[in-house]
């Protein structure tokens, strides 16, 4: 299941509320363009400012819209183990195919604490779990040895690796056979070259077909086509992180007339200088 191009889908807002009609449009656009799976309520979906009620609504809504056409892997993590278990239980009830579970942030547990956190979730809910390692947001990173330990727990089957380190991916895959997906768009192809199976993508919000085609080409052995698409999309991938995600991707979608660009505080509109850089990249790509 955890193979291919998954989109870390944005959460559209309208006057401070989730815009469910627009959310449906975005999901249909993704499925039409070949996206392998939908990941709602992750970092790109501004989960940090969603209430648990809103997060659960997004899980259920995504499953209803997708209607089993592609896998739904819902963001269900927390720095509180009990909260993560509650969200994961709901994801299963809502019909999600799996969950994305971020490493506990802020309280910065030891490797043993990280292991016990994920073990408690896996033992509480029978659902495939993709661990999410993103030290730039959480202030802590999973050691490859910890990932190897986690891979021995039933239910923990994949990791979204967003440390930005190819050495990290190589170390993980040298120690265990857990499925690795890239969490850094610009590193998707390099990660796949050392054994990753795809990506949970931000840039796929705007170019889903290209990301899908790149990942599929590599998985099918057409490295030339994959490399060509990698270099074509690379400037866009880098531009998505000029400022904190999802500010640039939502700004891009607004420029492309696909979204109103509304964010929730403390996220706000881009600085003018950075917005000008972003629009220059968009113009070069889309004309």
Secondary structure (3-state) at 109: coil
d(CA 228, CA 234) in angstroms, rounded, equals 10
Structure tokens at 88: 């994961």
By annotation, the residues acting in catalysis are 132, 160
Instruction: Please give the span between the terminal C-alpha atoms of the chain, in angstroms, as a whole number.
Output: 36
SS3 per-residue string spanning 213-272:
HHHHHHHCCCHHHHHHHHHHHHHHHHHCCCCCCCHHHHHHHHHCCCCCCCCCCCCCCCCH
User: CB-based contacts of 76: which residues, under 8 Å, 6+ apart?
Assistant: 41, 55, 59, 84, 87, 88, 90, 91, 96, 99, 100, 101
Please tell me the distance from the alpha carbon of residue 64 to that of residue 68, in angstroms, as a whole number: 8
Helix (H, G, I), strand (E, B) or coil at 158: strand
């Amino acid at each position: 299941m955890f193979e291919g191009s998954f989109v870390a889908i944005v959460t559209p807002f309208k006057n401070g509320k989730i815009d469910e009609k627009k959310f449906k449009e975005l999901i249909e656009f993704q499925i039409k363009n070949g996206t392998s799976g939908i990941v709602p309520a992750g970092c790109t979906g501004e989960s940090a400012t969603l209430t648990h009620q809103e997060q659960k609504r997004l899980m259920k809504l995504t499953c209803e819209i997708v209607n089993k056409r592609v896998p739904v892997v819902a963001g269900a993590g927390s720095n509180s183990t009990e909260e993560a278990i509650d969200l994961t239980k709901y994801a299963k009830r809502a019909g999600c195919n799996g969950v994305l579970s971020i490493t506990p942030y802020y309280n910065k547990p030891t490797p043993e604490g990280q292991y016990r956190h994920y073990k408690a979730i896996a033992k509480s809910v029978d659902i495939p779990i993709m661990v999410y390692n993103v030290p730039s947001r959480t202030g802590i990173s999973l050691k490859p040895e910890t990932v190897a330990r986690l891979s021995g727990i039933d239910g923990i089957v994949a990791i979204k690796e967003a440390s930005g380190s190819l050495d990290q991916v190589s170390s993980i895959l040298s120690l265990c056979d857990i499925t690795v997906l890239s969490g850094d768009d610009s590193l998707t192809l390099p990660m796949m070259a050392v054994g990753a199976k795809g990506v949970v993508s931000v840039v796929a919000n705007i170019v889903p077909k290209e990301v899908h085609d790149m990942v599929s080409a590599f998985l099918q052995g057409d490295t030339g086509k994959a490399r060509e698409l990698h270099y074509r999309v690379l400037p866009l991938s880098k531009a998505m992180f000029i400022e904190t995600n999802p500010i640039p991707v939502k700004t891009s979608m607004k420029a492309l007339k696909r979204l109103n660009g509304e964010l929730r505080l403390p996220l706000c509109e881009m600085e003018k200088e950075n917005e000008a850089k972003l629009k220059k990249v968009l113009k070069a790509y889309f004309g």
